[in-house]
Amino acid sequence: DPDTSLSLDEKPIGGLGIYLVKRLMTNIDYDYKDGKNHLLLTKSFTEGDIN
């Protein structure tokens, strides 16, 4: 995991993408099929999350 103790102003650009996807998504599925990458990101919400 990247160092999250620094503020965004102090942190160098880059390096948070995969970390954020893993933290924010409920499920991540990756497949390589027929010469193509397939990435399915799923986020589940409860009724209280929507408002």
- What pLDDT digit, counting tens, does each position of 1-51 carry? 888 898 888 888 888 899 999 999 999 999 999 999 999 999 998 888 776
Q: What is the pLDDT of residue 51?
A: 62
Q: What is the pLDDT of residue 22?
A: 94
Q: What is the pLDDT of residue 44?
A: 93
Task: Give Cα 24 distance to the centre of its chain.
Answer: 5
What are the residue ranges of helices labelled H in 1-51?
17-24, 47-50
Q: Let me know: does 16 contact 2? Beta carbons within 8 Å.
A: yes
Cβ within 8 Å of residue 19, ≥6 positions away:
1, 2
Q: What is the pLDDT of residue 2?
A: 84
